[in-house]
């Protein structure tokens, strides 16, 4: 009954109260990173022979090879997430993160007029924790969803991680496709009966109303690097170090490259810029889908709004790692330039944000959710875990201000409400509907 009431009132501020008050079991953080150094040198050898054959390669090509080479790529071989891996992400830190994103999904589904089919699409799902938390909440709020059919679509380049995702989301209820050419390379069903499908790229995900989530996905996509010189913009390349032929170094291309002539803005003021052209292509695909099929996209990542310069870095064992050392053995990443994403999206959809993770989670009701979890939990260790994960997610010096949320919404979300006959709308009435997370809402 209470759930039904929540469905009728439609308020985000009430939905959060209907998510189960229990804290889920703490995340199991152990992971089984493969002995990277065994494979690292083979990636280095591969890159050195490539450079010997064709000359210096772009940073973008270097990053793509190091991360997603089908045989020796870092993401392809490793399970890098968690305390024993190379880095930890918000969904791995606390269930609250995924629960609040689930409320965002439902809120945007409602804002779109409650379509009968809801495709939840996640790009780069890691260990599957975010998707699993979102599905758990959707399961709890079934009466709000009012019979809408939910399916989960995962875009994952890594066979190793897709297996982990399958175990966590479907147990033994998934199987690989018979043919390598099948765009759906794995398919399964959750215990609750939600169909889950795996794809290598976004184009393969079926059309239809979709809510897209991409957390710490865009920062893993390859970037080009450019340096302002006296002779104009030049691309930074990766070459063999002549003093140390078994190692790599950065060089500046002597003449313009196609990338340096097309990817740097004419009015660019910085002296060094990083451009993630692949991220640009993906955000355009997302925007086109949202515009044509309806839905929304939520991107959470560390990043800036066109202000930072050199952010390319590596992580290994939770420590910074030299980006050109033992490629394939460490995570490589660069801050997401949200101003670039906004620029390439164009006008077919509305862009929201970036807003800081702290603001977004507070707007989504993280404080209320914490109170509910704490008041239902008497175990001291679990309480301490809840408090420290809240701090990690929201503290300005931790993830609170470094991570940001950026949204793409269908333009109809902002259409002026139709004036009913005989009803006088105030002249200054806001045209915009509140969008969860990006708008301050009161939780009582
Ligand atoms: N979203 C998860 C994992 C982030 S790590 C979390 O927040 O915990 C980056 C994820 O993106 C991994 O699952 C990695 O395998 C995937 N990935 C990286 N590059 C990709 C690409 N080009 N296409 C699809 N998936 C990719």
Distance 127 CA to ligand 1 centre (A): 9
pLDDT at 425 over 60: no
Of 69-78, 132-141, 179-188, 321-330, which range is least confident? 69-78
424 CA → ligand 1 middle, Å: 50
Nearest atom in ligand 1 to the alpha carbon of residue 216 is 4
Protein residue closest via CA to atom 2 of ligand 1: 126
Tracing tokens 């809510």 back to the chain, one arrives at 211
- How many whole angstroms from 90 Cα to the centroid of ligand 1? 14
Average pLDDT rounded to a whole number, residues 362-389: 95
Q: What does pTM read for this prediction?
A: 0.90
Q: Which residue has the higher pLDDT, 180 or 304?
A: 304
What is the arrangement of strands in the sheet containing 331-333, beginning at the earlier edge strand?
A: 319-321, 313-316, 331-333
Helix (H, G, I), strand (E, B) or coil at 352: strand
Provide mean pLDDT across the span 298-316: 96
Residue 313 has pLDDT above 80, yes or no: yes
Q: Token pair 């906004």 is at which residue?
A: 342
Of 67-81, 139-153, 261-275, 350-364, give the lowest mean pLDDT range: 67-81
* CB-CB neighbours of 202 under 10 Å: 17
The per-residue b/e assignment along 379-408, b for 16 or more CB within 10 angstroms, e otherwise, is eeeeeebbeebbeebbeeeebbebbbbbbb
Q: Give yes or no for a contact between 211 and 121, defined as CB atoms under 8 angstroms apart.
A: yes
């Amino acid at each position: 009954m209470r759930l039904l009431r929540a469905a009728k009132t439609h308020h985000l501020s009430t939905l959060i109260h209907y998510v189960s008050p229990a804290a889920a079991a703490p995340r199991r953080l152990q992971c089984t990173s493969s002995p990277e150094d065994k494979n690292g040198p083979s990636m280095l050898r591969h890159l050195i022979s490539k450079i010997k054959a064709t000359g210096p390669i772009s940073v973008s090509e270097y990053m793509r090879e190091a991360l997603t080479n089908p045989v020796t790529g870092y993401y392809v071989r490793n399970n890098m997430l968690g305390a024993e891996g190379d880095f930890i992400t918000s969904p791995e830190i606390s269930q609250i993160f995924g629960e609040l994103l689930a409320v965002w999904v439902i809120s945007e589904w409602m804002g779109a007029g409650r379509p009968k089919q809801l495709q939840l699409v996640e790009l780069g799902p890691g260990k599957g924790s975010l998707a699993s938390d979102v599905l758990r909440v959707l399961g709890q709020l079934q009466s709000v969803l009012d019979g809408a059919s939910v399916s989960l679509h995962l875009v994952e380049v890594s066979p190793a991680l897709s297996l982990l995702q399958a175990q966590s989301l479907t147990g033994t209820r998934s199987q690989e496709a018979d043919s390598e050419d099948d765009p759906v390379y794995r398919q399964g069903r959750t215990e609750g009966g939600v169909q889950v499908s795996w794809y290598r790229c976004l184009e393969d995900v079926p059309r239809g109303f979709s809510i897209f989530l991409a957390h710490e996905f865009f920062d893993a996509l390859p970037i080009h690097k450019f340096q302002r010189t006296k002779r104009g913009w030049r691309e930074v390349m990766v070459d063999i170090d002549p003093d140390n032929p078994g190692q790599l170094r950065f060089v500046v291309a002597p003449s313009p490259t196609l990338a340096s002539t097309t990817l740097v803005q004419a009015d660019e003021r910085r002296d060094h810029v990083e451009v993630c052209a692949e991220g640009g292509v993906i955000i355009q695909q997302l925007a086109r889908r949202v515009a044509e099929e309806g839905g929304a996209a939520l991107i959470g990542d560390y990043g800036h709004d066109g202000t930072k310069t050199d952010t390319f870095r590596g992580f290994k064992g939770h420590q910074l790692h030299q980006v050109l050392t033992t490629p394939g053995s460490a995570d490589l990443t660069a801050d997401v330039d949200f101003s670039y994403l906004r620029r390439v999206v164009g006008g077919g959809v509305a862009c929201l944000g970036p807003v800081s993770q702290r603001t977004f989670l507070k707007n989504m009701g993280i404080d209320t959710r914490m109170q509910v979890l704490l008041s239902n939990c008497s175990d001291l260790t679990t309480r301490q875990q809840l408090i420290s994960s809240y701090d990690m997610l929201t503290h300005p010096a931790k993830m609170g201000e470094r991570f940001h949320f950026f949204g793409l919404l269908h333009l109809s979300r902002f259409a002026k409400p139709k004036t009913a006959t005989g009803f006088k709308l105030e002249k200054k009435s806001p045209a915009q509907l509140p969008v969860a997370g990006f708008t301050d809402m009161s939780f009582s």
